Amino acid sequence: MSAPRSTPLLTAFGFGAAKTASRPEVAGEASQRVVKLLACLLIIAICIEERIATLESVEVIYANLVVIPLLLFVFVRALWKGFHPIPRQIMLPLAIFFLATLASAAMAVDKLRAAAAIVQMFELVGLMWCVSLITSAKRCLSIIHFMLFVFIAQSLVAAVQFVLDIPYPSGTFTAPMTFGMMMGAGAAVAFGLFASGKSSARWVYFLAMVVLLLGLLISLKRGPWIAFGVAALAAIFFAGERRKLLLAGLLGTVAATFTLVATIPDARDAALARLEGSDTDDQHNTIAGRFAIWGVCLQLFVQHPILGVGPKNFETYAPSFLSYAETGLVRIESHNVYVGILAEGGLVGFLAYLYVCYAIAALGIRKFRDPRYELLRPIMLAYIAYQFYWLAMLYGYFIKAHGHLHFTMIGLMRGALRGVELAEREKAPAAAARR
């Protein structure tokens, strides 16, 4: 009986892979270097938030200018060299969520917004596939280091802006909230690398975390601090024997950072005003606005419980419930991915999205204790801290700018794991021959 047939595309995305495949596709050094360069350029582009163009509901940002050539390069290369796979453990949840989103989009009032959401999903999953071409753990780690370097530069620029009394210092980011979220994400990654304890450079990671936390303080945002705490606790939990020492060090670092701010009168007063919710210049009281918006999300879920109102369609419905003046927010969006998914995707989309979240987090956790992957533990711990940070931030995976960084990190984790898997497969025939 002949072996089951499989197309290259199905094999690439984890479905119908032929069992008789002789040798898995391995990217050459030159290809990995090109992908690494484009991934680093993407990180820089993410820090430039201005929209290049807007066509109805479709926005083009600087990150798109990097992702498009990256997709073209890897796809054309794959036609010649062969497609590298995405494992079924992550591709299946993404496929289920895509089908749920497609069903919801078919029922949407604003079909253009829904179509934009579908295209965006393809773009982000394609980005993950492209980045996972890099199987060298050293290259994956160097891209993460580059991200930290760029974010540290952003934090230092914001510090200069603060000293110069520039309103809402945020580096090159246009929104202080986005700046604060990215600084918190960088600090979580730095702490994850520090907690791994596998490198003589761990004190460099510690200093990087301190600088990034300084930027987070300058942003005067509350949410990223809570998310950073969740991410740090997740990293400490998986770190193993050094948990108590890491926890003490984390508490000491946060206390020292807040003490430093308390000695600067302007920073102290701004931080206290923010915590009290009295900083009316910063889009009024955003806490009350968020509660109002979450209430609208739940109303829409009750009205459309199965498939929701359609992807990206919350903004179409929301103005009929609330005005911008009532929310005190720049943009009426869900500001909470979970209630947002309930409104836009209904119960079907919500369950599918939870499955995606589980699969993404499990990518770094599943092999963490496996001794064969011991050299990847710093990357895994950084990845775990990053994922728990964004899960606690309540922001979705499939959004512009943030989503580009999310799927870059997912691709790096998958690529590093694939590198170890390929090495193990190559060792197996040699070990059998020696027997």
Q: What is the pLDDT along the chain (435 residues), one digit of tens a residue?
A: 344 344 444 444 444 443 334 445 666 888 999 999 999 999 999 988 666 655 555 677 788 889 999 999 999 999 988 888 888 999 999 999 999 999 999 988 888 888 888 999 999 999 999 999 999 999 999 999 999 999 999 999 998 998 888 888 888 888 888 899 999 999 999 999 988 876 667 788 988 998 999 899 888 788 898 999 999 999 998 887 677 778 877 887 777 767 766 676 666 666 565 555 544 444 445 677 778 888 888 999 999 999 999 998 888 887 777 765 555 554 567 788 999 999 999 999 999 999 999 999 999 999 888 888 988 999 999 999 999 999 999 888 998 778 999 999 999 999 999 999 888 887 665 555 555
The residues, ordered by sequence, that sit 6+ positions from 72 with a Cβ below 8 Å of its Cβ are none
Q: What is the pLDDT of residue 393?
A: 92
Placement of tokens 């796979």 in the chain? 85
What is the token pair recorded at 149?
């370097």
CA dihedral 114, 287, 409, 351 (to 10 degrees): -50
What is the token pair recorded at 123?
């773009």
Handedness of CA 315, 316, 319, 322 (dihedral sign): negative
Q: Find the radius of gyration of the CA atoms of the chain.
A: 22
Contact indicator for 129, 74 with CB cutoff of 8 Å: yes
Look at residue 433 and tell me if it is in a domain: no
Contact indicator for 412, 379 with CB cutoff of 8 Å: yes
Q: How many domains does the chain have?
A: 1
Look at residue 19 and tell me if it is in a domain: no
Look at residue 427 and tell me if it is in a domain: no
Look at residue 152 and tell me if it is in a domain: yes
Count CB neighbours of 93 within 10 A: 20
Q: What is the pLDDT of residue 411?
A: 96
**Encoded amino acid at 191, one letter:** F
Q: What is the pLDDT of residue 22?
A: 41
Look at residue 18 and tell me if it is in a domain: no
The residues, ordered by sequence, that sit 6+ positions from 309 with a Cβ below 8 Å of its Cβ are 104, 107, 108, 109, 300, 316, 317, 343, 344
- Domain span at 315: 28-417
**Which residue, among 394, 172, 399, 167, has the nearest Cα to 283 in the 3D structure?**
167
Q: What is the pLDDT of residue 154?
A: 95
Placement of tokens 């796809």 in the chain? 75
Placement of tokens 């919500």 in the chain? 350
Look at residue 426 and tell me if it is in a domain: no
Q: What pTM, to 2 d.p., does this model score?
A: 0.86
Look at residue 404 and tell me if it is in a domain: yes
Look at residue 423 and tell me if it is in a domain: no
**Which residue, among 233, 215, 247, has the nearest Cα to 151 in the 3D structure?**
215
Q: What is the pLDDT of residue 13?
A: 47
Distance of CA 360 to CAs 42, 154, 269, 416, Å?
21, 27, 40, 14
Per-residue pLDDT of 263-274, as tens digits, reads: 766 666 665 655
Contact indicator for 218, 159 with CB cutoff of 8 Å: yes
